[in-house]
Amino acid sequence: MIVTRFAPSPTGYLHLGHAYSALFAFDAARREQGKFLLRIEDIDPVRCKPQFVDNIKEDLHWLGLDWPEPVRIQSEHIGDYTAALVKLQEIDVIYPCFCTRREVALEAERAGHAPHLSASGPEGPVYPGTCRHLSKVARAERLAKEVPNWRLDIDKAAALTGPLLWKDRALGEIAVDLRPFGDVVVARKDVPTSYHLSVTVDDHLQGVTLVTRGEDLVPANGIHRTLQALLGFEPPEYHHHPLLKNKSGERLAKRDKALSLRELRAAGKTPDEVRKMAGI
């Protein structure tokens, strides 16, 4: 049975772009008589606000969407991500990193002056691997005094997994290449997980078989496919859809005050009208 999901972060009100993404996943499940799940991705303790969770549910119900309860809320399942992190530690593909963001940016900028290296990747400055080369003694001493980020050693990971592919319904088969990202963070100092780790674990534990999401996340999917292989998870199928954009050609975003579903409802729009506005 096909299982899809919509996984917003409670950082504000849903807008038209969210409606498109949620309806895309919901309709994909309904066409194949499958299951649609709602998941709340709230691992960012600064930006995520509990009060927006009810708003999200209210807006989605208004659009005509339903899902089984209880909804998975990431902050309630930190133990699942910690268990995955321990497994990655046991197979020696992650290492503690004590660098600050400023230090990473400065080191990446210096590395970028070399003709064979790039200072910037899809997620910002590419980590130059400073802490990867710390000795076991040095790591132990730092760990006794500091809480680190944990980074994926992409060279060790690739050696373990071998060449990997992932399948997208719109794009076909895509080969994994983590070099543009460098050694990505899989667990942060302030919370023992990351988007990449938690979404990989959640999709596995929830039995998601088709991940539908915006095309802006295509580059990051190689990270998720690698984590799936390392953790022994069966990979789902993917369908990355186009993003809704404003008149300037920029993707709709909360930070840019994109028109919210709440505002559309207050203006008298119906769910059918919102569907048409979203082009779905």
Give just the sign of the alpha carbon dihedral 28, 30, 35, 40. Answer: positive
Q: Which residue has the tokens 């001493």?
A: 141
Taken as a whole, the chain contains a residue count of: 280
For residues 57 and 112, give the distance between their C-alpha atoms in angstroms, rounded to a whole number.
Answer: 45
pLDDT in tens, the chain (280 residues): 999 999 999 999 999 999 999 999 999 999 999 999 999 999 998 899 999 999 999 999 999 999 999 999 999 999 999 999 999 999 999 999 999 888 887 766 665 544 334 455 677 788 989 999 999 999 999 999 999 999 999 999 999 999 999 999 999 999 999 999 999 999 999 999 999 999 999 999 999 999 999 999 999 999 999 999 999 999 999 999 998 876 666 666 655 456 799 999 999 999 999 999 988 8
pTM: 0.91
Q: What is the pLDDT of residue 113?
A: 41
CA–CA separation, 189 and 147 (whole Å): 6
Q: Measured in Å, how far apart are the chain's first and last C-alpha atoms?
A: 23
**211 sits in which H/E element:** strand 210-214
**Predicted pLDDT at 250:** 63
Please give the pLDDT value at position 102: 87
Q: Which CATH number fits domain 78-194: 3.30.450.20, 3.40.50.620, 3.90.800.10, 3.40.50.150?
A: 3.90.800.10
Residue spans of the domains in the chain: they are: 78-194
